[in-house]
Amino acid sequence: MSNYTRFEIGQTFPLAIHEQGDGGLFQVDANGTMFILQLAHTDVIAHEAFRTGAMEFALYKENGILFLLYQIDGIFKEGWGDAPLSLHAIPAEHQPTGKSLDEGILHLYLVDSNLRILLAQRDVPMNEGFQYVLRDYVENESVDEPAGDAFKKTVQKVWSRISSADMRKRAEAVMAVELDIPKAPSQMKH
């Protein structure tokens, strides 16, 4: 992640978010790979679940669009969410680079959708298969990605035809994120 942007819990989220409202946003750009979850109603349990809880992510491609599927224990009781990647909406100077694709980290941000405040953040390493599918899409397949209104219509068609759970069953890459609770100082080995 680029070091010129400051991400501080409790402060305004420093990046522009074009899609307002609750839901997930998936973005790959010159700063790296990001998943931004915007929620209007959260509590301390949800913040901790996002920061340290078990999660699962998957990548699914259909009609020239790559979808990030997500399931987060402690925030969603069941089911899968999905967020389509929209590279055509990223200005040319912010498009992903070889360096940003090589980083191998999925940056996770939980943002209050009403106040635009950063509530929690986490960085998780991508496994090799997940990173391969993402890189292949960005470098080779994104040229077929529909743009503008065609993108929105294509996403709506996909959503009307297949559920997020079915996308997950057909995903090309899956990444499990284990529970990550830091040990108390008294539990650490000396």
User: CA-to-CA distance for 56 and 108, rounded, in angstroms?
Assistant: 12
Give the mean pLDDT of the chain.
87
Q: What is the pLDDT of residue 3?
A: 46
Phi, psi of 130 (to 5 degrees): -65, -45
Q: What is the pLDDT of residue 182?
A: 65
Q: Tens digit of pLDDT for each residue in 9-49?
A: 888 887 777 666 788 999 999 889 999 999 988 888 889 88
Average pLDDT score over residue span 55-72: 95
Assess whether pLDDT exceeds 50 at residue 2. no
- What's the per-residue H, E or C state across 91-155? CHHHCCCHHHHHCCEEEEEEEECCCCEEEEEEEEECCHHHHHHHHHHHHHHHHHCCCHHHHHHHH
Q: Tens digit of pLDDT for each residue in 124-133?
A: 999 999 999 9
Assess whether pLDDT exceeds 50 at residue 142. yes
User: CA-to-CA distance for 106 and 136, rounded, in angstroms?
Assistant: 16
How are beta strands 81-84 and 105-112 bridged, if at all?
unpaired
Least confident of 9-13, 69-73, 146-150: 9-13
- Residue indicated by tokens 């940003």: 100
Reported pTM: 0.87
Assess whether pLDDT exceeds 90 at residue 180. no
